[in-house]
Structure 1
Amino acid sequence: MALKKRKIIGVLLAQAEREYQSKLMSGIAERAFELGYDCFTFSDPIKTESGENVRRGAENIFDLISFDMLDGVIIVPDTFNNKKTAEFAERLVRRKFKGAVVSVDHRAGDMPVIMGDDAAAIESLTDHLIEEHGCRIIDFFSGTPGHEHSARRLEGYLRSLKKHGIAYEPARVHDGDFWYNMGEKTAEDILSSPLPRPQAVVCACDTQAISLCDAFAHRGIKVPDDIKITGYDSIKAGTNHVPSITSAEIPAKQTGANAVEYLHSVIENKPFEPGAYSTDIVLAQTCGCGVDASAVYRSKNFYYSDDNHLSNFLSASNDMMSDLISAENLNSLIGRVNWYSFQVRPFDALYLCLNQNWEGGENDYIARGYSKNVRLRLARRVEGAKQEYDISFPSADMLPEMAWQREKPAVFYFAPLYFGDRAFGYIVMQYDTPHSMVDNFCGWLKNVCNGFECMRRQIHIRRMYFELKKAALTDSLTGLYNRYAFNRRAEELIADGERGVKTMFMMADLNYLKQINDNFGHLAGDKALNAIGQAISSACGENERCYRFGGDEFMLIGVGDYSEERIDDLKLRIRRSLEDFNAHSGLPYMVKVSLGAVCEIADSAEKLDRMVKLADEKMYQDKQINKKHSASPFR
């Protein structure tokens, strides 16, 4: 087990780089650092509903968690787009963790929960429309029916109406989905309603506000001239929309801080003292204030440099995907991942860990969990040069030893390396100061995962090619090269001959194969053929190759000048090997061989054929001599 220097808070969520999650993690990390905790964040990267294999592959990152190393757990179920993954994460926490735990912005049974104050922000936005723009007829575009966030945001709308003496009309509340899908229907419902047309619509989130604004535009309704609109959560899509969406900051940062504060109070057995929520309205164009929020945002967040074409992940000049999938081997791939890590900076360290046998075949790959030991293949600290490793460490430690050796807290983001349900390993981003993920991390990670899948396929294609080539060139019984391999080798031998280099051909033939087959069966004959193959193969030296020509015939080829003494020595080694086999085989028959050899320059196909025939003739002469000494193979 790794050396744990401080207490650890674990966070389970999805899409850590998204805006709400980023703000939430900012609050979690800042408060964790103030209290001296490390923060281990495990993030499912899936943004949309996906197939079962992809879902399992992504959620596998939660199986990496060593819960016995954690002191507290924060789970954020509402960030999961896939209900099955949210349920899986919740079950995992309940089953494996018995310490302090809290759910954020979602009630999960009897699990303690920290809820952000959405009602106050919606109330302030409604107040703004009434007090600053004189609106008295205001509809509410709610979220998903039955969702607690929808209820809280509706509560803020109702509080503002009551405060200003405006009667509540239930028909002015329209169901949404916290996404872009309901804007067209809601616009049609509003414009076809028998009620007076609203002066404004308060939306439960920016995505709904964008969809409603666009739906009104399609129908010739101008925003804000004809109808004013506000959103909620102040996302970049709303800021950059034309017209820009008046919104309010979601109090995610304070919610994250309060979640840590709650865990700390349980761990240390102290009273829970949550921080107060504040409401920050972001004025823009859709309410009529005329503020171009996108220009304000750009003035604060955008800078130009000549490197933008490289640093912008979405740039047409970003060749990351093509570079990764064209890597010729694993080391090259890892080197390119290291190079493209600049696209997810700033970070203090990046670790890439692979499962043992990460490239497994169709039926031997890891689909759930991680191998007992994983291999650290890349460790990159920004202030240092590239550091590539091949170090094994227990996956239960989650981090390599070097990452544990710190004097101050850090936040770590764990993300899966996977393709479908294949678990390749995982990547860890380390931050030594409170920090959230860059917003293009998910796209960057997808490229890395695709790069590893392409490398896996390349490895298997190469293996299959090797096996097919081996099968085409080797004899299936003896494992020696076959006649086809000899034909391919012949061109090289002729080229050697044209340079004046001699070739030695030794033909070998198994004696009495037919008698062995007839009396003991073909399996016995196969044993005899294998014995010949082993004897010839064991006698081979440098620049020598063995072939099975077919049937009971074998060929040993050597390149160079072979004297008669050297040829006789080869023959002797082959025969002694067979003598040793016969002495220990326990078979009712003996394996014997006839040999014939010739050494000349084979500088043409005709000359090579003649030499093979000559070696065959000498072998036949040896066979006749052998028959005079022994008429059968029987003992």
Structure 2
Amino acid sequence: MARKKRIAIIMGRIYNNINKSLIHGMLVQANALGYSAFVFALNEECDNERITHGEKNLFHALDFSVIDGVVYAPYTFCSSDYYGYIDNYLTEHCTVPVVRIGLEVGDYIPFWYDDRNEISDITMHLIYGHNCKKLLCLTGPADMPVAQNRAKGFIDAMQKAGLEYSDKTIVFGDFWINAAKDLATEIADHVREKPDAVVCTNDNMAISLCDALTERGYSVPNDIRVTGYDGSAESRMHVPAITTYRTSQEKLGKGSVCLLYEKITGIHCETDNTDTGTILCRESCGCSNCHERDEAFDAEHRLTEEGYMDSMVSAAFHDADTLDELVNEMFAMRYKFIYNKDFTDSRLLLCLCSDWDNVSNEYRRDGYSDTMYLISSDGSRCSFRQSEILPEILDREGFSSTFFLPVHFQDQCYGYIALDLDENIDNFNMEYIKYCREVNNALKYLSTKNELKRLQHRQSVSLSRDQLTGLYVFQNCKDVWAEIRDSSAENNEQLYMAVVSAGGIRHIENKFGSVESDKCIMTIAEILSKCCRSREWLFKATDRSFVMIGSGNNPDKHLDEYIKKIEEKMWRYTITSSEDHIIYIRSESKVVKDPTTLSKEDVLDMFTRMLEMIDERAEKQLSSHIHYSELLKLRRDIFVHPEFSWSGDMCSQKLNISKSYFYKIYLQTFGINFIHDLKKSRMNCAKDLLTSTSLLLPDIAERCGYDYYNFMRVFKREYGITPTQYRKNDH
């Protein structure tokens, strides 16, 4: 499927009425030209460096390979820190055309409305409407083209009216409050002759000048008339209300998109000219604003605002214990900012980094994870590459406008949230901004709460661990059995278990001390752990016994493999250990036929019975017999030197006992008969030499205590393949 044609729009404070008109014009024109829009905005602009960092991070989500161009309105941001950062980011990374509304900076394509003629119109109103002869123009910085252009509009009007003007008639300021205060001081101190009127080229300076003149004893408009420019809501609410020029922000927005379209396609297009600016005559110039109609305020909008305040959003979000619960609450409360008639036409998309809930000091501060996780209000859930910005599979047919806000807590990046709308941008309102701030706080609260739970769980789990081996003690892990049982049922697998008891420990403790016996238990625990598969769990049962619980489709095979691996590793430990003692294991295994009916207590009883069976066999062990130590040493010698001509006669002579008695006590002591144990030792040695050396087979046979013919026959019978095949397969 071909990529959808789309532009990106970057601007601040979209909830502001003037800016809302601007973006409305952009979206209407984009729709007419067949483009959808990604709109990147901010939650808040403040002086807190960490919050500022978190807000700026949103622009790392921009991938210019999935958009055709950018419209950027820097003047809609409160702080130069924000638009300076965006300027630099676009300069370094942007590969598509950028139309920059307002300030002419860098290599961007500039676009602005005809403010020269509009300033001229409002100046003419003062001259002909109020008979003003001596006028001043307070504009922005002298090095700013916008400020110069507006000053030229003032001069145009003065020339048309035949009024005198000079360089001192134009006052270059800052487009902010300080220059206005300075001008009021100069007038009050008679440094500058009192004018009949001051034309301010934005509302901020006009409001500030009115206040400063009033503080110094001047009456506005009786002593000095003041006008502004922009048509801001503040100008209307001020006392006196500021005469201003409401520019056509919608026309400006449409024009910026037309210019971008021309740069993308090379095709010229025009906007309709039905929407124009107008002078708003009010009290500050001497006019009355009683004829100015109150702007309509939709009752549904008021209900939305009141509903948000009454909704207890914060409490509902903070009650969530999991991400799913939080998301469900989020989507359930969309009606708090989305007007009823648009509810079914909008989608809310929460896109989280893969590491969003990292609470360590190394949390994500810059950029986003390569893979993001999306949760949508329409039920969609998926992972996607961040370079897509949003998954292509979620694209709607036809026009859509998607508004992005950063999701973060101070400088910790969580991801971003997208509000996908068909047409009505009124749903991107102050209530939505508040809502998203609550989401940010709720995610932080949730991650912190879950981390505290995790720490509490780990603390309780640490109390469940055996201090010597680090293994969990099964008796102390209340929920483990249920988790393993349920996981097995979900995967349609059978459960099996093996109980392993360590032998020779008491003898080592008596002869070498408790430190050596502890080392041996740790060795056995390590061997048992390494022999576990991915779905096998090992626990400590008693001081010298362990329990392995496994889950799989072939339990008998898995149990057999587990015991064989243990025996091989025990054999390897015996022949490589520098200690002059030997340890061994006894085991019982069982396949659990119907685990769903078993409680943890039932499993403990099962373990206990299996241990009793091992102990019953161990009771026959002649550990108090005079030959016990000699048997342990003899077995070690058999393991270390398989090449010797071991036989029942030879071993019984070493112990000075009869051969039949030797066979009996060997079996009772180690749980395996002598002949089988000898063969297993020699086969383990053979496998080790086959895989770790390049010795010829006759040499290997000799080192294992066989002649070549018998070695080949025994090996094939034991493993079903020849030694050569075993070596080739690199078992």
Alignment TM-score, normalising by the size of structure 1: 0.75
Deviation of 1:353 after TM superposition, in Å, equals: 1.5
CA distance in 2 between partners of 1:154 and 1:134 (Å): 20
1:335-378 residue CA offsets vs partner (Å, 9 max, x unmatched):
22223323432562222221222212425543333223322212
Alignment of 1:303-382 (within 5 A): 303=299, 307=303, 310-311=306-307, 315=309, 317=310, 319-346=312-339, 348-362=346-360, 365-379=363-377
**Alignment partner of 1:190 out of 184, 187, 210:** 187
1:431-451 residue CA offsets vs partner (Å, 9 max, x unmatched):
222636634143332222222
Letter in 2 for 1:141: L
Deviation of 1:158 after TM superposition, in Å, equals: 2.3
Letter in 2 for 1:9: I
Letter in 1 for 2:338: R
Letter in 2 for 1:591: I
Deviation of 1:190 after TM superposition, in Å, equals: 2.7
- Structure 1 404/622 Cα, relative in aligned 2: closer, same or farther at 3 Å? same
* Partner-residue secondary structure (3-state), 2:165: coil
* Partner-residue secondary structure (3-state), 2:317: helix
**Alignment partner of 2:286 out of 263, 275, 288:** 288
CA distance in 2 between partners of 1:204 and 1:80 (Å): 18
Deviation of 1:281 after TM superposition, in Å, equals: 1.1
CA distance in 1 between partners of 2:207 and 2:508 (Å): 86
CA distance in 2 between partners of 1:142 and 1:205 (Å): 8
Letter in 2 for 1:446: R
Which residue number in structure 1 is paired with residue 118 of structure 2? 121
Alignment of 1:445-484 (within 5 A): 445-481=436-472
**Alignment partner of 1:245 out of 242, 247, 251:** 242
* Native 8 Å contact 2:181 2:209 kept in 1: yes
CA distance in 2 between partners of 1:445 and 1:575 (Å): 57
Which residue number in structure 1 is paired with residue 428 of structure 2? 438
**Alignment partner of 2:26 out of 16, 21, 28:** 28
Deviation of 1:577 after TM superposition, in Å, equals: 10
Which residue number in structure 2 is paired with residue 526 of structure 1? 522
Pair 1:590 & 2:587 matched: no
Letter in 2 for 1:366: R
**Alignment partner of 1:428 out of 415, 418, 422:** 418
Which residue number in structure 2 is paired with residue 410 of structure 1? 400
Which residue number in structure 2 is paired with residue 151 of structure 1? 148
**Alignment partner of 2:259 out of 259, 262, 272:** 262
* Partner-residue secondary structure (3-state), 2:41: strand
Which residue number in structure 1 is paired with residue 210 of structure 2? 213
- Structure 1 434/545 Cα, relative in aligned 2: closer, same or farther at 3 Å? closer
Deviation of 1:237 after TM superposition, in Å, equals: 2.1
CA distance in 1 between partners of 2:3 and 2:115 (Å): 38
- Structure 1 547/524 Cα, relative in aligned 2: closer, same or farther at 3 Å? closer
Deviation of 1:545 after TM superposition, in Å, equals: 8.3
**Larger relative contact order (CA 8 Å, sep ≥ 6):** 1
CA distance in 1 between partners of 2:586 and 2:514 (Å): 20
- Structure 1 318/197 Cα, relative in aligned 2: closer, same or farther at 3 Å? farther
* Native 8 Å contact 1:26 1:436 kept in 2: no
Deviation of 1:419 after TM superposition, in Å, equals: 2.3
Which residue number in structure 2 is paired with residue 101 of structure 1? 98
Deviation of 1:201 after TM superposition, in Å, equals: 2.5
Deviation of 1:275 after TM superposition, in Å, equals: 6.2
Which residue number in structure 1 is paired with residue 45 of structure 2? 47
Letter in 2 for 1:70: I
CA distance in 2 between partners of 1:305 and 1:99 (Å): 38
- Structure 1 517/356 Cα, relative in aligned 2: closer, same or farther at 3 Å? farther
- Structure 1 169/353 Cα, relative in aligned 2: closer, same or farther at 3 Å? same
CA distance in 2 between partners of 1:167 and 1:318 (Å): 61
Deviation of 1:301 after TM superposition, in Å, equals: 2.5
* Native 8 Å contact 2:359 2:448 kept in 1: no
* Partner-residue secondary structure (3-state), 1:229: strand
Deviation of 1:278 after TM superposition, in Å, equals: 3.6
Please tell me whether Structure 1 or Structure 2 has the larger radius of gyration of its CA atoms.
Answer: 2
RMSD: 4.5
Deviation of 1:280 after TM superposition, in Å, equals: 0.9
* Native 8 Å contact 2:468 2:518 kept in 1: no
Pair 1:511 & 2:518 matched: no
* Native 8 Å contact 1:184 1:211 kept in 2: yes
CA distance in 2 between partners of 1:99 and 1:308 (Å): 39
Deviation of 1:480 after TM superposition, in Å, equals: 3.9
1:144-168 residue CA offsets vs partner (Å, 9 max, x unmatched):
4533322222222222222223322
Letter in 1 for 2:158: L
CA distance in 1 between partners of 2:326 and 2:131 (Å): 61
CA distance in 1 between partners of 2:94 and 2:48 (Å): 28
CA distance in 2 between partners of 1:54 and 1:350 (Å): 23
Which residue number in structure 2 is paired with residue 567 of structure 1? none
Can you give the 5+ residue segments of structure 2 that lack an aligned partner in the other structure?
Answer: 478-499, 548-561, 588-611, 637-731
* Native 8 Å contact 1:472 1:484 kept in 2: no
Letter in 1 for 2:21: K
Deviation of 1:8 after TM superposition, in Å, equals: 1.7
Q: How many residues align?
A: 564
Which residue number in structure 2 is paired with residue 599 of structure 1? none
- Structure 1 576/393 Cα, relative in aligned 2: closer, same or farther at 3 Å? closer
Which residue number in structure 1 is paired with residue 11 of structure 2? 13
CA distance in 2 between partners of 1:304 and 1:63 (Å): 36
Deviation of 1:82 after TM superposition, in Å, equals: 4.8
- Structure 1 9/215 Cα, relative in aligned 2: closer, same or farther at 3 Å? same
Deviation of 1:29 after TM superposition, in Å, equals: 0.9
Which residue number in structure 2 is paired with residue 559 of structure 1? none
* Native 8 Å contact 2:25 2:249 kept in 1: yes
Deviation of 1:291 after TM superposition, in Å, equals: 0.9
Deviation of 1:26 after TM superposition, in Å, equals: 1.4
Letter in 2 for 1:113: P
Which residue number in structure 1 is paired with residue 719 of structure 2? none
Alignment of 1:38-187 (within 5 A): 38-51=36-49, 53-83=50-80, 85-171=82-168, 173-180=170-177, 183-187=180-184
1:232-261 residue CA offsets vs partner (Å, 9 max, x unmatched):
111222222333222111333222211221
Letter in 2 for 1:18: N
CA distance in 1 between partners of 2:38 and 2:621 (Å): 81
Deviation of 1:464 after TM superposition, in Å, equals: 2.1
CA distance in 2 between partners of 1:405 and 1:360 (Å): 33
CA distance in 1 between partners of 2:512 and 2:263 (Å): 83
* Partner-residue secondary structure (3-state), 2:457: helix
CA distance in 2 between partners of 1:127 and 1:202 (Å): 10
- Structure 1 437/103 Cα, relative in aligned 2: closer, same or farther at 3 Å? farther
1:194-224 residue CA offsets vs partner (Å, 9 max, x unmatched):
3342333322222222233333344444333
